[in-house]
Amino acid sequence: MGKSYQLTFEEKPGYVHFRVTGTNSPESVRGYLADVYYTCAQHKYPAILIEENLQGSGLGLLDIFEIVSDGSERTWPYIRRIAFVDVNPEHSQPDMKFAETVAVNRGVNMRLFPSLREAELWLSETPAVPA
């Protein structure tokens, strides 16, 4: 069975922009986050922007908690800054804010943004320290 998501990335000045599309499920989110981590570790990308556009209802809070908790353990030392934009308007912003809180409580420098422009500005404010 193939992946239920598509992940692309583009190097920008000071960060890498990942775009993910596909079906919203715990498996898809875990899968694309693992791919993001692998790419960052392989290329030593310390600052990233994740633009998520997964179709379907949002994940439950327990799934969000487990995915973010597990993923948080794998960010250091490669990923130092994460800007995250969920462009699907059907997804709950309070639930996404919960994901940000879980990540930050685990020492991940992650911020949720309502727009790509705001995420890009945050990433350009201070460069991430190279791994």
Asked, as a colleague might, if the bond just before 13 is cis with ω within 30 of 0, I would say no
How many folded domains does the chain comprise?
Answer: 1
Q: Predicted confidence band at 128 (pLDDT cuts at 50, 70, 90)?
A: low
Alpha-carbon distance 112 to 94, whole Å? 11
pTM of the full predicted structure?
0.92
Mean pLDDT of the chain: 93
- Establish if 130 belongs to a structural domain: no
Q: Which helix (H) or strand (E) holds 33?
A: helix 26-43
Alpha-carbon distance 55 to 37, whole Å? 22
Q: Predicted confidence band at 131 (pLDDT cuts at 50, 70, 90)?
A: very low
Q: In this structure, what CATH number is given to the domain that contains residue 9? A: 3.30.750.24
Which residues have a Cβ under 8 Å from the Cβ of 22 and sit 6 or more positions away? Answer: 3, 4, 5, 6, 28, 32, 54, 55
- Establish if 30 belongs to a structural domain: yes
Q: What is the pLDDT of residues 89-105, one digit of tens each?
A: 989 989 999 999 999 99
- Establish if 101 belongs to a structural domain: yes
Q: What is the pLDDT of residues 109-119, one digit of tens each?
A: 999 999 999 99
Give residue for tokens 């309502």: 114
Provide the pLDDT for residue 84: 97
Alpha-carbon distance 83 to 94, whole Å? 16
Q: What is the pLDDT of residues 48-84, one digit of tens each?
A: 999 999 999 999 999 999 999 999 988 888 899 999 9
- Establish if 131 belongs to a structural domain: no
Q: Residue 99 is part of which domain span?
A: 5-125
